[in-house]
Amino acid sequence: MAAPSSPAAGIRHVQDLPVEGKRVFVRVDYNVPLEKGTKRVTDDSRITATLPTVRHLIERGARIVLGSHLGRPDGQVKREYSLEPVAARLAHLLGQDVTLADEPVGDGARKVVSDLRDGQIAMLENLRFHPGEEANDEQLCRQLASYCDVYVNDAFGTAHRAHASTAGMVKFVTAKGAGFVMAKEIDFLSRLLGDVDRPYVAVLGGAKVSDKIEVLDALLGRVNAIVIGGAMANTFLEAQGKALGKSKVERDKLAIARNFLRKAAEHRVLVHLPTDVVVATSLDGEGAPPVSVDAIPEEGMALDIGPATIENYRGVLTAARTVFWNGPMGVFEKPAFAAGTVAIARALADNKLALTVVGGGDSAAAIAQAGLADKVSHVSTGGGASLEFVQGIDLPGIAALRP
Ligand code: ADP
Ligand code: MG
């Protein structure tokens, strides 16, 4: 379904909800990476992101019930996916107890929730221990809704999923709204759908054309130019008849790529492709001197965009007044092939006149790694969710928050 022209319309902010003395269910995204064995939380940014919402509710004297998934236990109780380390980390960050129920729903969970006093926090065990979560089962929705008077969604990263805790339970709760994370995501991403300052440039990269062809297609109706890099660019280059050696190419997507380039021309959207690339014979290799895309050796793999391409893309991004970036320009995990991605991050950071929005798990990691995350307008916490949002799809987790 297409999103209404203003996706935020009618959605209340948690600050405007009556929460004093009320039981408030907050859907958070605490799907954090854990160290194997020790189960230590290795990156707590998804937890710290929700602190404004949680602290606001504590200060207002709400009785807070947190719900999240962690990993893919597939509807079964699997202890290795327990939220226990997450509850411990949150308690540490807040300097306050967080009581973890040992199940997502049931008598134990109900007891933990009913024992809450104003300003206290309970966390339900991993919601995906219950098969009804991903199935959006009505009975589970009713059970979860019975634990609260107010529903708050602060989990943008799962807003594209119509699950019990993100969508289904909401219709059984009267007061509902968006937490600080969710509200900020809707605010910035909506700006990309409205009347933007131009030129509007989309930078798309990453692993596969097939992951992103829907976004590419949807962007044709909105942007002035599309800048392509990463393995995705290889498929486009091969579609134009270049020889890509041993580069990652989706051979079954060449027709789609050609078709896209034709449609872009019809829409008068400029598509920029690499003119030079950094080539190596293995991922552990050093980046050899850059070569023209017309001279890629048979044994070589294109693993990053080259300096001439960087110059060109930088120029396009400096002139832009709105930028959406998803997908790294190369194998940025390896320093030898990170220059293109870092250059794009820097070009966005340097453009103070533009609205600059970054989405995608690896792209967000790349801009953080470059130390530039706070120099752009917004880095989305959602990978798939941000891509669906910029396509103009009405995400079930957001739609559920409207009156
Ligand atoms: P995001 O998570 O930001 O949406 P993707 O998941 O689509 O991004 O793509 C990221 C992955 O693409 C990275 O692991 C990166 O190493 C890989 N990648 C980028 N460029 C290339 C390339 N030229 N060859 C192989 N892999 C690439
Ligand atoms: Mg990714």
**pLDDT > 70? residue 156:** yes
Spatial contact of 117 and 134, defined as CB atoms under 8 Å apart? no
Question: Which residues are catalytic, by number?
Answer: 46, 208, 361, 384
Interacting residues of 106 by C-beta distance below 8 A, sequence separation 6+: none
Q: What one-character DSSP code corresponds to residue 298?
A: T
Helix-helix angle 180-191:51-59, to 10 degrees: 130
* Predicted pLDDT of residue 294: 98
Residue 201 confidence (pLDDT) above 90: yes
pLDDT of residue 9: 81
> Whole-prediction pTM value?
0.92
Tens digits of per-residue pLDDT, 242-256? 999 999 999 999 999
**Average pLDDT of the segment spanning 335-343:** 96
State whether the beta carbon of 383 lies less than 6 angstroms from ligand 1.
yes
Q: How far is CA 287 from the centre of its chain?
A: 30
Q: Whose Cα sits closest to atom 7 in ligand 1?
A: 206
Res 164: pLDDT: 98
Query: Would you give the DSSP letter of residue 290?
Result: P
Task: Point out the ligand nearest to the CA of residue 228.
Answer: 1
**Please, which pLDDT band fits residue 3 given cuts at 50, 70 and 90?**
low
The yes-or-no verdict on residue 218 having pLDDT over 70 is yes
Q: Ligand 1 test: best mutation among 204, 227, 362, 388, most atoms within 8 Å of CB?
A: 362
Angstrom distance (rounded) from CA 203 to CA 329:
9
Q: Is the CB of 327 under 6 A from ligand 1?
A: yes
Retrieve residue 26's tokens: 């907050």
**Ligand 1: does its nearest atom lie under 6 Å from the Cβ of 231?**
yes
How does residue 114 score in pLDDT terms, banded at 50, 70 and 90? very high
pLDDT tens by residue, 10-29:
999 999 999 999 999 999 99
Percent of the chain with pLDDT over 90: 92
